Amino acid sequence: MAEKYVVCSAFYLYLGWRLGIDNKPITTNYRRIKINNLEKKLRYQFKNKSILKLSLSHRSYANENKSGDNEVLEFLGDSILGMVVGHMLVEKYPKMNEGQLSLERAKLVSQTSLANLARSINLDKHVLLGNGERNNGGAKKDSILADTFEALIAAIYKDSNFETVQKIINLIFKL
């Protein structure tokens, strides 16, 4: 009889998860597996998983779960990306003038470009969204993906150091 109860409970937890109802119990192991996949794509393993979770937490998720969001990390990640990509361009194209370098950097760190990079590492599968945003296709929106990508870059920086995040950005951008 106890086995029947466990199977039924697991089914209802799964059903609730599929419907977006009280998904905390069922997503723990599932989320851990997904996070491991993200870390493999990045070729970086977080020492502090809470900074990773924060980087993936959209404002809508934070509001529903009474937790922090990724907006300050997004701000920091934007600056880190600008600097590292600028450095990469100067190294690769030493004869380009400042105007050309600025245009090239702007293209590389544009919302569309960052969203495409986010998709290339399956970040759309990891972003934490509130129910309303998730139901409106938030994980596919360029703005959310680009912002989350920037926050993820800052989380790597805060979890490690500048040299490590620079190597990861170089690998992702493949310039």
Residue-wise pLDDT for 1-26, tens only, equals: 444 434 444 444 443 444 343 334 33
Q: Largest alpha-carbon pair distance within the chain?
A: 76
| Residue 164 confidence class, pLDDT cut points 50, 70, 90 | very high
Among the listed residues 69, 74, 104, 150, the single catalytic one is: 150
Burial of 77 (C-beta count, 10 Å sphere; 0-12/13-18/19+): buried
pLDDT of residue 32: 65
Please write down the long-range contacts of 158-167, taking CB distance under 8 Å and 24 or more positions apart. 158/48, 158/51, 158/73, 158/76, 159/46, 159/47, 159/48, 159/51, 159/52, 160/44, 160/47, 162/80, 164/44, 165/80, 165/84, 166/84, 166/87
Closest CA to 156 of 73, 68, 32, 65: 73
Could you give phi then psi for residue 68, rounded to 5 degrees?
Answer: -80, 160
Quote the CA–CA distance of 97 and 86 in Å, as a whole number: 12
In 131-165, which positions are buried (b, 16+ CB within 10 angstroms) versus exposed (e)? eebbeeebbebbebbbbbbbbbbbbbbbbbeeeeb
CB 130 within 8 A of CB 60: yes
pTM of the predicted model as reported, rounded to 2 decimal places: 0.80
Q: Mean pLDDT over residues 85-114, rounded?
A: 97
Yes or no: say if 120 and 13 are a contact pair by the CB < 8 Å rule.
no
Of the residues 69, 74, 78, 147, which is catalytic? 78
What residue ranges define each of the domains in the chain, with the CATH number in brackets? 44-173 (1.10.1520.10)
* 142 part of the active site: no
Can 150 be counted among the known catalytic residues?
yes
pLDDT exceeds cutoff 60 at 92: yes
